[in-house]
A and B are shown apart, each in its own frame.
Chain A
Amino acid sequence: MIIEIWTKEKYAGNEEQGFLTRMAHAGLKAGAARLSRLYRVEGVFSAKEFDKLGSELLTDPITEHYSLKPGKIKLKGGYRVEIWLKDSVTDVVGESVKGAVADVLGKDPATVRFGHAYYLTCESGAKLKHAVSKTLVNETVNKCRIEKL
């Protein structure tokens, strides 16, 4: 199960601007951007329990939304970039959240991995791929997927 968390639009200006600047440094002119955090939680949990993790553990209800179905953010004609650490790489955030999940639900998940998703509109997929490899992804430690929305 992947739980996706994103900042409510009215609070997201800073992180979006920072991201757009970063992409501009890498030579990509992006029109709009949204960012989210991804938690892949693997374990024998019910839908209700996953929902509890999303609402009570991983989300700040004042500033953030969550969804158990990733890709809920809509950006017409845009792209979605999903980045994870490779499974062989230590994921410190994932490990910390794993402990927290066990505390909240009273049972251990098999694994928890942490990742990012970036939604953006831009001129071309090829340029996006180039910018992503230049600034967001290091193939030594990351795995990445880009899809057209």
Chain B
Amino acid sequence: MNPMEKFNSLNAKELAALDKACGWSLNAEELAEAQRQFRRMGRQPARGELETIAQTWSEHCKHKTFSGPVAFRDGAKTKKYRNLFKETIVKATRTLNRKWCLSVFTDNAGIVEFGKGGKWGLAFKAETHNHPCAVEPYGGAETGVGGVIRDILGVGLGAKPVLNTDTFCFGRLDGKKRLPKNALSPERVMRGVVEGVRDYGNRIGIPTAAGGIYFDDGYLLNPLVYVGCAGLIPVDKIDKKVIPGDLIVSIGGRTGRDGIHGATFSSANIDEETSASAVQIGHAVNEKKALDVLMRARDLGLYNAVTDCGAGGFSSAIGELGSETGARVRLEKALLKDTRIEPWEIWVSESQERMILSVPKGKLKKLAAILDAENCEYCVLGEFPGDGRLLVTHGEERVVDLPMAFLHGGVPNFEKAASRRRVKISAPAPARPTAGYGRALKSLLAHPNVCSRHSVITQYDHEVQGGTVGKPLQGRYGDGPGDAAVIWPQAATLDLHDFSGFAVSHGFNPAIGRIDPYQMALQSIDEAVRNLLAAGADVSRTAILDNFCAASPRDPEVMGDLVLAAEGCHDAAMAYGAPFISGKDSFYNQSKDADGREYPIPLSLLISATAPVEDVRRALTINFKEAGNPVYLAGATAPGMGGSVYNELRDTGNNAVAPLDMKAAVKLYAGLARAIKAGCVAAAHDVSQGGLAVTLSEMAFSGGFGADIDLAPARRGLTGTELLFGESPARLVLEVAKGREAEFLRLVKGLPVAEIGYVKEEPLLSVSDGSERFFTEDIFALKDCWKRELI
């Protein structure tokens, strides 16, 4: 007999075997709970019901780890969390209670106010598509981009996407480690991912203009692919509500056997036997058709609610929309790619480019006319009856018949153990580099985590829609590294007289996380905010997204790192007054190779931040602008080389992380914001990977100007190595307009801002400390080191 047919009488071992065979990724408690429920109903479950439960209760859909109870042990002390996510990330947002946050943590993306007049909201979301990219990088990246765009289309009654972002983590391209049999090489993964993001973003007509790439062998088997999207929505289109009696209409792509088990796939470690059925290739043109239909139909009020078909397919999307009303679904009505498909497969298939609408019966005809005009396929799958029951049939076959309350409230959650990882810290003064500071700087500029990303960036269309003001490549030659994208979304507002825009930036620091996850979270948020400031955004209205990626949460130290980073997120959000508006997490980024060795990723937290730019015409760029302008270092340099790129190149033996003084940083940024707003600052660039010497080099060669720099005013007992290559947070380099220096100094009075030199015509960067010359280098030679072809 099929084990499914005697589900209620299976023992724990048999349940586990069935789970593995079906690819559900449910744990023993969840399987037992499902069994208990069906025993109570007095019947055996249908396959479709178990599939629906597996999807709905998956880590991907329910975020059980982050939103579950945790016991965190730190030495003799234990702190208990009932819901880690709510008690850290959400708590900060609720406490801050910003009026300009229009929708947080309730929809497919967070929404904040945008522009003047209160007419628009800016929706922002980032998520990951890691596991699919490890198996098929091109298709995985494409469908990741497609998925996050659909999140923006499915927020409220639909936002118009105006910006895509992408941040990737790969194994080192020049790594010497022997790869396990089942792994694709990092170069292969990177090429596929970049091509996937490029092809989807370029074809659908959304600029890809912000992001980053990080290399570390921790990502050798588990690349991370963070994709983000921002869009504009009229504020009166933010609320949505399914009305009983509405029709369930699916628009966009057809349903096929591709993408079965993507959601449950996310809840499992990848191993040799990973199924290939969870891989798909995206179809950007189909999604563009759905986008065009939605924007027209939204403005005509032709539907009451919308959501995207993401992980879990119809099961998840219809289940979510009908969580209060229930849903009656007739799967025989679905448009299929392939007729060789089981009814339960139609229900859980994650075929791409599909959106689900809740449409009043009387408006279907008008909607159909738009769908036909846009050549967008659709089908009416059933209705939302209002009885709170999920009934899914295929002809005479009953595929699912379950109460929504069980599906959405029935998932058992158990306490996870977490403990603080002990890291031995040593802090000897780092020595001077044996080959000299100039040579060390050149090595840093050529390091994969510092060097130019032009070979990737230039593959993306970052100009489509004509609103990319702050570009990913900036400066006199159009090849310097921008700190943040500045977008003027006139393609959505259609208002050419309003120059309101927004900036988007990122903070990411897993190297610090290996030493101190709490500081990693603080410094990632600080870096994102600082990048916004450097682009001229109003950082007092920063909104942030958190995207955590971690290895298996069954390891208490992985959970311990997560707890510390979540606490860091809370504390930094409170200090900077920057609420989280949305986020996502991805666990089980841990793989076993053919020999059974485990490869866990380091805890990786991507902070994506956005803030308004009052007038995009006044946005800042990083490059030096004019010879004779004074150069200032803002922020105090603290000792500590922990997490620095320099330490990766030459281990100084100093792994102390320079701590972030958030109170001082907030005060400093407020003063700098005043100076930027007053027009005193000609260029600004944050000090991050590679340290101050890299920042100065990038500003110089991007502008085609040299600079004479004397770091004596900033030295404060630090060694030359710490001063030049340390990555202490909360620092920026500013070029101040010559005639505005007095006003600048008045506006930053009392803050740690020191004049360190001036811009000069001669293309040489000279850096000294009083009488000691650190180095003098030709800026174009520095640029040659930096401008490597990554792929």
Q: Does the CB pair A135–B281 fall under 8 Å?
A: no
Distance from A122 Cβ to chain B, minimum over Cβ atoms (Å): 19
Q: Does the CB pair A138–B258 fall under 8 Å?
A: no
B 126-168 to A, binary, CB cutoff 8 A, 1 in contact else 0: 0000000001111100000000000000000000000000000
Q: Is B333 an interface residue (CB 8 A)?
A: no
Complex: how many Å from CA A85 to CA B282?
13
Q: Does the CB pair B258–A88 fall under 8 Å?
A: yes
Q: Does the CB pair A141–B281 fall under 8 Å?
A: yes
From B12-20, B182-190, B486-494, give the one contacting chain A.
B182-190
Complex: how many Å from CA A25 to CA B187?
9
Q: Is A104 an interface residue (CB 8 A)?
A: no
* CB-CB under 8 A for A90 and B136, given A134-B185, A134-B188, A138-B184: no
Q: Does the CB pair A140–B284 fall under 8 Å?
A: no
Complex: how many Å from CA A96 to CA B282?
13
Q: Does the CB pair A140–B136 fall under 8 Å?
A: yes
Q: Does the CB pair B282–A92 fall under 8 Å?
A: yes
Distance from A146 Cβ to chain B, minimum over Cβ atoms (Å): 18
Complex: how many Å from CA A95 to CA B284?
12
Q: Is A91 an interface residue (CB 8 A)?
A: yes
Q: Does the CB pair A95–B283 fall under 8 Å?
A: yes
* CB-CB under 8 A for A89 and B258, given A134-B185, A140-B135: yes
Taking CB atoms, residues of chain B closer than 8 Å to A96 are 285
Taking CB atoms, residues of chain B closer than 8 Å to A134 are 185, 188
Taking CB atoms, residues of chain B closer than 8 Å to A135 are 185, 187-188
A 19-55 to B, binary, CB cutoff 8 A, 1 in contact else 0: 0000001000000000000000000000000000000
Q: Does the CB pair B282–A141 fall under 8 Å?
A: no
Q: Does the CB pair A140–B258 fall under 8 Å?
A: no
Closest to A141 in B: B136
Closest to B274 in A: A140
Taking CB atoms, residues of chain B closer than 8 Å to A141 are 136, 138-139, 276, 279, 281
Closest to A25 in B: B187
Closest to B789 in A: A21
Complex: how many Å from CA A90 to CA B338?
12
A 48-84 to B, binary, CB cutoff 8 A, 1 in contact else 0: 0000000000000000000000000000000000000
Distance from B144 Cβ to chain A, minimum over Cβ atoms (Å): 15
CB contacts under 8 Å to A, within B329-385, are 352
Complex: how many Å from CA A90 to CA B280?
7
Taking CB atoms, residues of chain A closer than 8 Å to B185 are 134-135
Complex: how many Å from CA A95 to CA B375?
14
Distance from B198 Cβ to chain A, minimum over Cβ atoms (Å): 13
Q: Is B125 an interface residue (CB 8 A)?
A: no
Taking CB atoms, residues of chain B closer than 8 Å to A89 are 139, 258, 280-281
Closest to B139 in A: A141
Q: Is B530 an interface residue (CB 8 A)?
A: no
Q: Which of B135, B188, B283 contacts A90 (CB 8 A)?
A: B283
Taking CB atoms, residues of chain A closer than 8 Å to B282 are 90, 92
B 260-282 to A, binary, CB cutoff 8 A, 1 in contact else 0: 00000000000000001001111
Complex: how many Å from CA A10 to CA B790?
27
Closest to B137 in A: A138
Taking CB atoms, residues of chain B closer than 8 Å to A92 are 199, 281-285
Q: Does the CB pair A91–B281 fall under 8 Å?
A: yes
Distance from A16 Cβ to chain B, minimum over Cβ atoms (Å): 17
Taking CB atoms, residues of chain A closer than 8 Å to B281 are 85, 89-92, 141
Distance from B64 Cβ to chain A, minimum over Cβ atoms (Å): 28
CB contacts under 8 Å to B, within A90-122, are 90-92, 95-96
Q: Is B625 an interface residue (CB 8 A)?
A: no
Distance from B189 Cβ to chain A, minimum over Cβ atoms (Å): 10
Q: Which of A88, A91, A138 contacts B136 (CB 8 A)?
A: A138
Closest to B143 in A: A90
CB contacts under 8 Å to B, within A130-149, are 134-135, 138, 140-141
Taking CB atoms, residues of chain A closer than 8 Å to B283 are 90, 92, 95
Q: Is B453 an interface residue (CB 8 A)?
A: no
Distance from A115 Cβ to chain B, minimum over Cβ atoms (Å): 14
Taking CB atoms, residues of chain A closer than 8 Å to B139 are 89, 141
Taking CB atoms, residues of chain A closer than 8 Å to B135 are 140
Closest to B279 in A: A140
Complex: how many Å from CA A138 to CA B185?
11
Closest to B187 in A: A25
Q: Is B783 an interface residue (CB 8 A)?
A: no
Q: Is B541 an interface residue (CB 8 A)?
A: no
Taking CB atoms, residues of chain A closer than 8 Å to B188 are 134-135
Complex: how many Å from CA A118 to CA B282?
25
Complex: how many Å from CA A140 to CA B184?
11
26 inter-chain pairs at a CB distance below 8 angstroms, sorted by A residue, are: A25-B187, A85-B281, A88-B257, A88-B258, A89-B139, A89-B258, A90-B258, A90-B281, A90-B282, A92-B199, A92-B281, A92-B282, A95-B283, A134-B185, A135-B185, A135-B187, A135-B188, A138-B136, A138-B137, A138-B184, A140-B135, A140-B136, A140-B276, A140-B279, A141-B138, A141-B279
Q: Top 5 A-B pairs ranked by shortest CB distance?
A: A90-B281, A140-B276, A92-B283, A140-B136, A141-B136
Q: Which residues of A contact B (CB under 8 A)?
A: 25, 85, 88-92, 95-96, 134-135, 138, 140-141
Task: List 7 additional contacts besides A90-B282, A135-B187; criterion CB under 8 Å.
Answer: A90-B283, A92-B284, A134-B188, A138-B136, A138-B138, A141-B138, A141-B276
